[in-house]
Structure 1
């Protein structure tokens, strides 16, 4: 009596040896969201950053309010004409704090998994590494955009309410106001994605933080508008792009650039960071 073989299709049909279904991308996004929201430290970091940024902005507005007696009638008119309320709505100091904090939070979204070894479990469960990292990019971008909008919106409303006590507050409909809020909002995901990309490539907390500080804080100071190459390099950085977008009346420079160019810098940084995050794990070990 000869043995009969069972076709592979028959095995699959009976359920024996059937392959695991490929995870849907929305399931991967949901899993990354669960990872993020389940960590108490994440929300502490977001909360502390929000309080610090809003406090810096509100403190600047209150300092202006409390020393308003030094301003005369002409000084008040010049205050609005020179766009000082816009500068107070989201200050440069608050921007640096938010950018550094968001870059750190973004990097820890992946470095934490490498340091604890849970990334091995993730990639073992879902071998499609690029899909996993793309889902992480989506979650980090979405959460930090919402965070940026919340902080920028509260900062604008609070600072202008304080300044309105002296009659110099502005509304969101005034020229330049929406640009300040939008630029400050979107700087958050740009910096968070840059931190995520650095963390994915470097995988070490200390080194990643040093590089992030160099890119966000040091390089914008190093590059000036005195030389063409230096101006172009500086204009390619997110912080200088933010400065261009929130400037009510940009000072004339030897190498001027446009708000469209600044928005392009935002887009290129976010896209490049997302691509680097996704592709850098494809052929590397855990």
Structure 2
């Protein structure tokens, strides 16, 4: 608190707490000022869309003229696993880079409400990567269908399963970015955060099959498994082997992972000295 003298006496002046929109603007400036950000995003979207074009062109069945939605032509695993990896890493870097450079001390001095800072970072990350995911998802669908239309095998966006796959693939990026951000706050170390993010998002799910119920339950609780289920446009029959995730359950997985990691980050950051 500071004071200001006047003819009638001393008037106390207090600094008002930073508004959330000011924190959001500050975090957006930090993100935008990194020269690597637009290059990383641009190359990632280009790779994801390019992988959809390659997968569609390589699909020999596409020449049959049968109009059906092929989700792993429009959304090939290689492209969207790359999107998961980059989004998770970039989300983590929004926090880890400040810890490694020491800028986090300046941030906490300027804004003692550390939870608000984390929420502002999360809001910027979610907005940015939702836009990136939307561009990658829409571009992948449009490119793949343009190729299929040459063989009279394309489908419109109103085709069953298309819109769900489009939305699920678009939201995959912000979900992974927020998970990476939460892990960055929890671990505060670049290498440890990257390894944990890659292990959690990409390496852990294949370790659990759908042959046993307990193993299938763990697999279905992973983000990559939820994405695979959401982009499928078929329902398993009663005689199918193993256990299959449900569509509502997969949407719940999408929601819980970022919510839990950010909630843990808020809990931890308020208890730490820095």
Q: TM-score, structure 2 length as denominator?
A: 0.91
Task: Report the 3-state secondary structure (helix = DSSP H, G, I; strand = E; otherwise coil) of the residue aligned with 2:14.
Answer: coil
Structure 1 residue 16, shift from structure 2 partner: 5.1
Corresponding position of 1:42: 37
1:280 match: secondary structure: helix
Q: 1:179 aligns with which of 153, 160, 164?
A: 164
Please tell me whether the aligned partners of residues 226 and 245 of structure 2 are also in contact (alpha carbons under 8 angstroms): no
- Tell me, yes or no, if the aligned pair for 1:244 and 1:250 is still in contact at 8 Å: no
Q: What are the superposed Cα offsets for residues 236-278 of structure 1, whole Å, 9 maximum, x if unpaired?
A: 0000001111111144343233201100100111211221232
**CA contact under 8 A between 2:208 and 2:219: conserved in structure 1?**
yes
Distance 2:27 2:37 in 1: 13
Shift of 1:218: 1.2
- Please name the residue that 2:247 is paired with: 259
Q: 1:281 aligns with which of 265, 269, 272?
A: 269
Task: Confirm or deny: 8 A CA contact 1:102 1:192 kept in the other structure.
Answer: yes
2:53 corresponds in structure 1 to 58
CA distance in 2 between partners of 1:27 and 1:281 (Å): 20
Q: Residue 112 of structure 2 corresponds to which residue in structure 1?
A: 127
- The superposition leaves residues 56-111 of structure 1 with CA deviations (integer Å, 9 ceiling, x where unpaired) of 111111223xx57x95xxx443xx45x42x32111111111111111001000101
| Partner residue, 1:3 | none
SS in 2 for 1:169: coil
* Counterpart residue number, 2:221: 236
Change (3 A) 1:185 1:14: farther
When the two chains are superposed, the root-mean-square deviation of aligned CA atoms in Å is 2.1
- Within the alignment, does 1:22 sit opposite 2:10 as a pair? no
Kindly name which structure, 1 or 2, has the bigger radius of gyration based on alpha carbons. 1
2:52 and 2:76 in contact (8 A); partners too: yes
Change over 3 Å in CA distance of 1:14–1:166 after alignment to 2: farther
Which of 24, 28, 31 is residue 33 of structure 1 equivalent to? 28
Any unmatched runs of 5+ in structure 2?
none
Q: Matches of 1:15 and 1:134 in 2, distance apart?
A: 37
Structure 1 portions without partners, runs of 5+:
1-7
